[in-house]
Structure 1
Amino acid sequence: MTGNFSQAVVQLCYENVNGSCMKMPYSPGSQVALYTVFGFGSLLAVFGNLLVITSVLHFKQLHSPTNFLIASLACADFLVGVTVMPFSMVRSVESCWYFGAKFCTLHSCCDVAFCYSSLLHLCFISIDRYIAVTDPLVYPTKFTVSVSGICIVVSWLLPLMYSGAVFYTGVSDNGLEDLVSALNCVGGCQIVLNQDWVLISFLLFFIPTLVMVTLYSKIFLVAKQQAVKIEATSCKAESSSGSYKARVARRERKAAKTLGVTVVAFMISWLPYTIDTLVDAFMGFITPAYIYEISCWGAYYNSALNPLIYALFYPWFRKAIKLILSGEVLKDSSSNISLFAE
């Protein structure tokens, strides 16, 4: 990517401003391609997650603790698409920050807060699915709407507190004053974290991810055992109650598998960025700028992936999309429409 600069002459972000950052523009063709790719990801994150939020909130059949968590997760991804990706797109393509120093701090704070909020939502969803699959009889009494609400509050409050501590107290760059001074130019938006805070960020990513991997591993083992038992039972007797229980169990297992795919997609998207920040912090910021941008946008694109996963694996979501886009949701009785195949 570094070979696509339009000219070798050094340019400035602000030509007539002292202390302006250097600008390294891409060729016009490369700029169009990058704006297209990044812009598409931003639009997909906005409108895809808006469809998820609308579906869960509008259709009464989707009013469940799990789906409220999914809607809140979609809200975090929606905010990434609205408040983070468009401005990061301009920064990445133009190699300059044109939105002011104060908004740079706010943008970075939103970036970290909403992304960690997505991670905590996924962690709580994995706990929800684990209880639903391993102990389905007591699940309705253990994971209620109020419990789901507490999980949602924690998933928003902790990331906001953490990002505020990182970006508004100044403690995250202690010991890196010389580097911060060197990067402090007009038209730049470089947030520097010292090794302690990078390690904290890594643990905040690693611990919930480890919890999710452990729980989903157990979920798949239990789901496999349940599938064998249900198949054996259905061969002996096909009572209406037994058939209903089998359908519910299959639905729970399918939901767990789908959300497991969501977790895997999150890990694949975020692992390169997490490794890159660790390498930079402990190896003297040796990673090339274009490697950072690729890993950063890989993480951003995760906010656009979840609606695609739901559309691929959830028939009810595809049906909800059709009803929303066709305008059927504007009818008075539309909230009572059944989205699940009997």
Structure 2
Amino acid sequence: MPFCHNILNMSCVKSTWSNDVRASLYSLMVLVILTTLVGNLIVIISISHFKQLHTPTNWLIHSMATVDFLLGCLVMPYSMVRCVEHCWYFGEFFCKIHTSTDIMLSSASIFHLSFISIDRYYAVCDPLRYKARINILVIFVMIFISWSVPAVFAFGMIFLELNFKGVEEMYYKHVHCMGGCSVFFSKISGVLAFMISFYIPGSIMLCVYYRIYFIANGQARSINGMNQNFQIGLEEKHGILRSKERKAAKTLGIVMGVFLVCWCPFFLCTLMDPFLDYTIPPTLNDALIWCGYLNSTFNPMVYAFFYPWFRKALKMILFGKIFQKDSSICKLVLESNS
């Protein structure tokens, strides 16, 4: 058996996959990484460059794209080598840095999704008071919380070794090996990670989506039940609003579906593994982590590709038109559709 370290009785076992399997895995993961980087970088450039896109909501999306870009840049490449080779070649201290950064950025991305759903709730369900409630200061508070809470949680847990507190003996006897870098949680830390990084923000997203869908349907029934004479005028007046409601409901529905499909399996395994005496295979855990990473790959597609401004910004970036004079003040889309 090949080993990761020269001290054989303490070393992790290296991957025994054939070269063809490794090449396929590397190719697939590199494709995911490049797609994540390119997609999120386009969102970052678009919102940064075009002044029309300098809105509170878009700064929140810009911050999320930055998180997802950093995840693809700083975390995924090292996770790729670890998953394919089953070995960690970058030292024990960098393992802690990588694990902390991984947990922080993955959680921060989920936090941003939760805050964006709250922003969309006020935009759709309380549009008259939206600008008063969700101003640039509120957005910066959301961004600060989305970065700071995951950072404190992730780096505090890993560097203070709180993730296996109470089960240290079992961890060092049966789990820890030289040349490895796996994320390990005790029962308490596993439940805590599940609650902070997944359950609480996910529950907020689910409740907000249901509320938007419920209100949008209620408003549609209310308009349809009115007198025909008033209905024509109301449809003219509220046509744009109802269009935005449908777009927000559809987008949030897709966001919720993608989020649950990508992250739910990993966090459920993280929660259950300590209660199953750590019987879940490491290979399955690695596969579920990459399934979670795909959420950062899909985020720019779901949030940006659904909007007309993104498609026009993408064309201008690809054709180099953003380098032209006054391109930053170009009107990407009508104000009512922005």
TM-score normalised to structure 1 length: 0.90
Distance, in Å, in 1 between the alignment partners of 2:3 and 2:230 is: 72
Q: How much has 1:16 moved relative to structure 2?
A: 7.1
1:96 aligns with 2:87: yes
Q: Which residue of the other structure, out of 264, 270, 273, is the alignment partner of 2:257? A: 264
Q: Which residue of the other structure, out of 176, 192, 209, is the alignment partner of 2:202? A: 209
Distance, in Å, in 2 between the alignment partners of 1:21 and 1:276 is: 22
8 A contact 1:21–1:187 mirrored in 2: yes
After alignment, is 332-341 or 86-95 more displaced? 332-341
1:237 aligns with 2:237: no
After alignment, is 102-111 or 316-325 more displaced? 316-325
Distance, in Å, in 2 between the alignment partners of 1:233 and 1:41 is: 54
Distance, in Å, in 1 between the alignment partners of 2:279 and 2:121 is: 41
Match of 2:107 in 1: 116
1:319 aligns with 2:312: yes
Q: How much has 1:136 moved relative to structure 2?
A: 0.7
Distance, in Å, in 1 between the alignment partners of 2:255 and 2:145 is: 20
Q: Which residue of the other structure, out of 72, 85, 98, is the alignment partner of 1:81? A: 72
SS in 2 for 1:313: coil
Q: How much has 1:13 moved relative to structure 2?
A: 1.5
Distance 1:273 1:98, change over 3 A: same
Q: Which residue of the other structure, out of 216, 223, 234, is the alignment partner of 1:223? A: 216
1:159 aligns with 2:155: no
Distance, in Å, in 2 between the alignment partners of 1:16 and 1:128 is: 54
Distance, in Å, in 1 between the alignment partners of 2:307 and 2:314 is: 11
Distance 1:143 1:256, change over 3 A: farther
8 A contact 2:49–2:328 mirrored in 1: yes
Match of 1:3 in 2: none
Query: Structure 1 stretches of 5 or more lacking a match?
Result: 1-9
Distance, in Å, in 2 between the alignment partners of 1:117 and 1:229 is: 39
- Cα shift readout 1:90-120 (whole Å, capped 9, x = no counterpart): 0000110111111100000011101111111
Q: Which residue of the other structure, out of 277, 301, 312, is the alignment partner of 1:284? A: 277
Match of 2:42 in 1: 51
Distance, in Å, in 2 between the alignment partners of 1:99 and 1:126 is: 38
1:41 aligns with 2:29: no
SS in 2 for 1:188: coil
The residue correspondences of 1:12-51 to structure 2 (distance < 5 A) are: 12-15=3-6, 19-51=10-42
Distance 1:246 1:100, change over 3 A: same
- Report the residue type matching 2:131 in the other structure: P
Q: How much has 1:172 moved relative to structure 2?
A: 2.0
- Report the residue type matching 2:51 in the other structure: K
Match of 2:54 in 1: 63
Distance, in Å, in 2 between the alignment partners of 1:222 and 1:210 is: 18
Distance, in Å, in 2 between the alignment partners of 1:286 and 1:17 is: 23
- Report the residue type matching 1:192 in the other structure: F
- Report the residue type matching 1:237 in the other structure: G
Distance, in Å, in 2 between the alignment partners of 1:17 and 1:330 is: 57
Q: Number of paired residues?
A: 330
What percent identity do the matched residue pairs reach? 39
- Report the residue type matching 2:233 in the other structure: A
The residue correspondences of 1:239-254 to structure 2 (distance < 5 A) are: 242=236, 246-251=239-244, 253-254=246-247
8 A contact 1:48–1:308 mirrored in 2: yes
Q: How much has 1:18 moved relative to structure 2?
A: 7.3
Q: How much has 1:312 moved relative to structure 2?
A: 4.2
Q: How much has 1:152 moved relative to structure 2?
A: 0.3
Q: How much has 1:248 moved relative to structure 2?
A: 4.7
Q: How much has 1:210 moved relative to structure 2?
A: 1.1
SS in 2 for 1:98: coil
Distance, in Å, in 1 between the alignment partners of 2:248 and 2:331 is: 18
Match of 1:105 in 2: 96
- Report the residue type matching 1:218 in the other structure: R
Q: Which residue of the other structure, out of 169, 182, 189, is the alignment partner of 1:178? A: 169
1:130 aligns with 2:121: yes
- Report the residue type matching 2:179 in the other structure: G
8 A contact 1:310–1:317 mirrored in 2: no
Distance, in Å, in 2 between the alignment partners of 1:339 and 1:130 is: 24
> Aligned Cα RMSD in Å?
2.2
Q: How much has 1:134 moved relative to structure 2?
A: 1.2
Q: Which residue of the other structure, out of 162, 181, 186, is the alignment partner of 1:194? A: 186
Distance, in Å, in 1 between the alignment partners of 2:150 and 2:230 is: 46
Q: How much has 1:292 moved relative to structure 2?
A: 1.0
